[in-house]
Amino acid sequence: MLAAVMRDSGIVLDTVSDPEPGSGEVLVKTLACGICGSDLHALRHADKMLEAAAESGAGQGPGPSVVVMDPSRDVVLGHEFCAEIVDFGPNTTKRLKAGTRVVSVPLAFRGTSIHAVGYSNELPGGYGEAMVLSEPLLLEVPNGLSTERAALTEPMAVGAHAVAKSGMGQGDAALVVGCGPVGLAVIAALRMLGVEAVVAADYSPMRRRLAEGLGAHRVVDPAERPAIDALRELAPFKPAVMFECVGVPGVIQQMMKDAPRGARIVVAGVCMEVDSFKPMIGINKELSLQFVLGYMPDEFANTLRAIAEGEIDVDPLITGRVGLEGVAGAFEDLARPDEHAKILVQPHS
């Protein structure tokens, strides 16, 4: 099949072997797949990503562990997909028929191993014409929900999880620092929870507009005023929960300095670098930092439902569409965050 392949720290269009569904797996035709910031990280900083995975104990300890990719070999990235069932491997129930459109948590179980679809040498992700997925994980795209919107399930589920892990309630106030796809997903989840004071900060006017569209009550250009001031103005007495959705060194320390006493900082931005901070500021204010990653299967399923029922309007997030030949260029474009939120890859367009 044709795929946009990560090879030698670049993206090249090439033919790779067709994926074959194993036991319990289905073969799907990839209809749309969003490009994630983590894919940009993987392309540029695969070494750091793998180093952090090793330092986090990947492959050690009891229980199954996600198989770590080898970036010196071909990888087909892409884990935010909507696809159509084409064929079935052995030991499948066929509870969903061929032709059904599906989304899935991007994991696949093979024997005693777990593979991350889109970060695997074995299982291609969504930047190719076809994938194999684990049948038990498939969720049918509800009738009437467009393929493009369904493909936004994965990134929006990240926001639902971050908000759930924050432990915050409707009566708290939220500051979202950074309005890329992660920050926008957090804003949508905050509004779904019913939070009545959401302030969002980003240097990009386009991203601030998207934040407003998803329901932020105030948006701030940090070049003009500290975002925390807008939060204190909007909700002077509500407990503050701050979401770090940037992932660049120095942001956590700045948020610790800005935080009111007792605040919780949820770290959703993926920072691959070594970062520095002053513990004493955290101590003096008794702050807490909650690091978050991914989502639970129920959060993923509920996000699909919310998009299908129109509770989240994801259309404005889609700022570009490319075929497989356009993936390399789209990666370049996404390095200029002023112009894009989510670019969808359509392998068969």
List of residues contacting its own copies (CB under 8 A): 48-49, 52-53, 55-58, 61-62, 165, 236, 247, 252, 257, 260-261, 267, 269-293
Nearer to its own copies, 149 or 232 (CB): 232
Q: How far is the CB of 101 from its own copies (least distance, A)?
A: 31
Of 256 and 312, CB closest to its own copies = 256
Report the nearest approach of its own copies to the CB of residue 310 (Å): 31
Is 16 or 289 the residue whose CB approaches its own copies more closely?
289
In the complex with its own copies, the residue whose CB is nearer, 44 or 285, is 285
Q: Give the nearest distance from C-beta 312 to its own copies in angstroms.
A: 24
* φ, ψ dihedrals at 148, nearest 5°: -65, -45
Query: 3-class DSSP state for residue 37?
Result: helix
**The pairing of beta strand 80-88 with beta strand 130-134:** unpaired
Which has the closest alpha carbon to 332: 11, 3, 31?
11
Contact indicator for 111, 105 with CB cutoff of 8 Å: no
Cβ-contact 100, 29 below 8 angstroms: no
Q: Least CB distance from residue 60 to its own copies, whole Å? A: 11
Query: What is the DSSP track for 156-203?
Result: HHHHHHHHHHHT--TTSEEEEE--SHHHHHHHHHHHHHT-S-EEEE-S
Least separation in angstroms between CB 278 and its own copies? 6
Q: Which residue, 70 or 273, has its beta carbon nearer to its own copies?
A: 273
CB 239 within 8 A of CB 265: no
Residues paired with 174 in a beta bridge? 198, 241
In the complex, minimum distance from the CB of residue 126 to its own copies, in angstroms, rounded to a whole number? 22
The residue (of 111 and 279) whose beta carbon lies closer to its own copies is 279
Cα end-to-end distance, the chain, whole Å: 14
